[in-house]
Amino acid sequence: MALKIYGIPRSRAIRTLWMAHELGIEYEMVEVAPGAEGSRKPEFLAINPNGHVPFMDDDGLVLWESLAINLHLARKHGGALAPAGLAEESLATMWTCWALTELEPLAVQVMMHSFMLPEPDRVPGVLSTALANIQAPLLVLEAALVKGGGFLMGERFTVADLNVACCVFYLRMNPEVLAFKPAAREWYADAMARPAAQAAFALRGD
């Protein structure tokens, strides 16, 4: 059975779609929108009780959490994107946990309060605090890329780069946050220019 990815490209499912395109694997996209009309319907809550997308079914293995799905797909299908050996497994896990805890929450606040929420719901104070606080993790990213020769591990683009870049995507309307971080700026531009990223993000239609 082909890999089934549940979600829509204009959601965190884009992360898994990007990974599937990188790996060149076949997949079936089951369109499930986030929220009451989709991911929170009983039939989908039965698969992912969190009520979120994405989730996937890979030959009977059901997983949710976009970045965990990416780690699974990289491990399963191997290739250059996959961690090679224990040290890289651990580094990929570290960068993924870092993306989810240190970077994504602030990046989501920046995105919501700069362009995603309807204007009356945007809170300038939340945005300015998030923009100030996100400098710390972005400087960590910059330093790691300088040290790693342009990649987060193993001197090549891997699932660690992809998982972190997915969270930097939330800062796309605020490119000024990457000012004075040339390594991060170049790394992110190169990541988004990859043919697999282009093919996956084209599915969003934006």
Binding site for ligand GSH (CB under 6 A): 11-12, 34-35, 39-40, 51-54, 65-67
Measure the CA–CA gap between 19 and 67, rounded to whole angstroms. Answer: 10
Least distance in Å: CB of 70 to ligand GSH? 10
Least distance in Å: CB of 30 to ligand GSH? 14
Least distance in Å: CB of 7 to ligand GSH? 7
Identify which of residues 110 and 183 has a Cβ nearer to ligand GSH in the complex: 110
Measure the CA–CA gap between 182 and 146, rounded to whole angstroms. Answer: 9
* Geometric angle at alpha carbon 160, from 117 and 198, rounded to 5°: 60
Measure the CA–CA gap between 48 and 38, rounded to whole angstroms. Answer: 12
Identify which of residues 112 and 192 has a Cβ nearer to ligand GSH in the complex: 112
Least distance in Å: CB of 18 to ligand GSH? 13
Identify which of residues 142 and 170 has a Cβ nearer to ligand GSH in the complex: 170
- Tokens in use for 135? 């400098």
Identify which of residues 111 and 183 has a Cβ nearer to ligand GSH in the complex: 111
CB distance 67 to 100 below 8 Å: yes
Measure the CA–CA gap between 131 and 107, rounded to whole angstroms. Answer: 8
